[in-house]
């Protein structure tokens, strides 16, 4: 039998995980649904004339996704924080790769699908209610001089924004950022024994501030006055406030850098999580 991955063994592991956590997951999904509905009701009460507008729907989805997803990701290897549970977890007859893959299945794939489904169920119901409330408010206050515009259910995966000469899907970038950040919290749940969510958040904040400071103060002092344009391969030099020179590297450099920034972080953190779990000792 393959010591790294066996489909039958991995399926047994995922079933074991579900049987041990199904009550917790079910209650968690019910609580998440309730919180979303309560928040939407609060918005309708506070703004009956503008209830459930696009910003509320987008903000609810993505803010909730980042908070709940990262919080859940930081608990995927919570058994390792306790010596008895950690010994029991590591002694399960499955490879470290299978354990990592099972955690990613529940923490990344299934969570994302369930969260999106819950959001749209709650959003569909509350948009209908919000339109009824807003229409009643419109009839009472604005029916003589302003047309009623009902709210629509938004597509949280699509939104165009122009950056330079190209259109980008800003929400796709949000999703990529979410998976990258959540993967860091998943890694933190293996690295840190206690308070993994808080410790991982502090590490990410410190890393972000360091990158900003290093880029602005250190690297900025080595390059002439100017700025990047249309990606990382074109740099404009300024002289006396006027643009007079352009330094352009091959376009493939810009394409590779953008590809890595978009897609590399999450897989890298997942791979590091696997090797860290493989070296874990209780």
Q: What is the pLDDT of residues 49-66, one digit of tens each?
A: 888 989 999 999 999 999
Return the pLDDT at 145.
61
pLDDT at 241: 55
Q: With pLDDT > 90 as the criterion, what percentage of the chain qualifies?
A: 50
Residue 19 pLDDT = 93
Q: What is the mean pLDDT of residues 114-127?
A: 95
Instruction: Write down the mean pLDDT value for the chain.
Output: 85
Q: Give the pLDDT confidence of 183-203 residue by residue, as tens digits.
A: 999 999 998 878 889 999 999
Distance of CA 34 to the CA centre of its chain: 21
The answer as to whether 18 is a domain residue is yes
Domains of the chain: total: 1
Percent of the chain with pLDDT over 70: 84
Residue 173 has pLDDT above 80, yes or no: yes
pLDDT of amino acid 232: 64
Q: What is the pLDDT of residue 245?
A: 73
State the DSSP code for 219. Answer: G
Specify the pLDDT at position 219: 65
Domain around 199: 7-223+255-278
Q: Say if 249 falls within a structural domain.
A: no
Residue 229 in domain: no
- Residue 214 pLDDT level (bands cut at 50, 70, 90): confident
Q: Looking at residue 227, what is its pLDDT? A: 66
pLDDT in tens, 215-242: 777 766 666 666 666 666 676 666 665 5
Query: Residue 115 phi/psi, 5° resolution?
Result: -60, -45
pLDDT for the residue numbered 144: 64
Number of other CB atoms surrounding residue 81 within 10 Å: 16
| Position 63 in a domain | yes
Q: How confident is the model at residue 82 (pLDDT cuts 50, 70, 90)?
A: confident
CA distance 173 to 263: 10
- Report which secondary-structure segment, H or E, holds 268: helix 265-278
Q: Is residue 21 part of a domain?
A: yes
Within a domain: 84? yes
Residue 232 counted as domain residue: no
- What is the band of 166 on the pLDDT scale with cuts at 50, 70, 90? low
Place of tokens 């874990």: 280
Ranges assigned E (strand) in the chain: 160-163, 166-169, 226-228, 234-239, 242-248
Q: Which residue has the higher pLDDT, 152 or 252?
A: 152
Residue 234 lies in a domain: no
Highest mean pLDDT among 87-96, 158-167, 172-181, 207-216: 172-181
């Amino acid at each position: 039998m393959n010591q790294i991955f066996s489909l039958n063994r991995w399926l047994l592991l995922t079933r074991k995980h579900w049987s041990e956590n199904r009550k917790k997951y079910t209650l968690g999904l019910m609580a998440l649904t309730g919180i979303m509905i309560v928040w939407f009701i609060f918005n309708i009460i506070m703004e009956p004339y503008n209830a459930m507008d696009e910003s509320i729907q987008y903000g609810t989805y993505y803010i909730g996704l980042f908070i709940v997803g990262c919080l859940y990701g930081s608990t995927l290897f919570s058994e390792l924080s306790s010596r008895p549970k950690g010994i029991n977890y590591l002694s399960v007859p499955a490879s470290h790769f299978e354990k990592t893959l099972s955690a990613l299945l529940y923490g990344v794939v299934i969570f994302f699908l369930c969260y999106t489904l819950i959001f749209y169920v709650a959003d569909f119901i509350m948009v209908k209610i919000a339109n009824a409330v807003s229409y009643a408010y419109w009839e009472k206050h604005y029916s003589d001089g302003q047309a009623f515009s009902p709210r629509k259910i938004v597509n949280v995966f699509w939104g165009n924004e122009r950056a330079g000469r190209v259109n980008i899907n800003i929400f796709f970038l949000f999703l990529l950022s979410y998976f990258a950040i959540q993967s860091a919290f998943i890694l933190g749940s293996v690295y840190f024994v206690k308070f993994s969510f808080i410790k991982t958040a502090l590490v990410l904040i410190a890393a972000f501030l360091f990158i900003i400071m290093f880029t602005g103060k250190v690297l900025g002092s080595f390059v002439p006055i100017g700025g990047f344009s249309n990606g990382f391969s074109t740099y404009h030099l300024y002289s006396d406030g006027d643009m007079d020179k352009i330094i352009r590297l091959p376009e493939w450099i810009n394409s590779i850098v953008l590809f890595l920034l978009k897609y590399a972080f999450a897989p890298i953190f997942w791979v590091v999580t696997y090797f860290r779990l493989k070296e874990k000792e209780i």
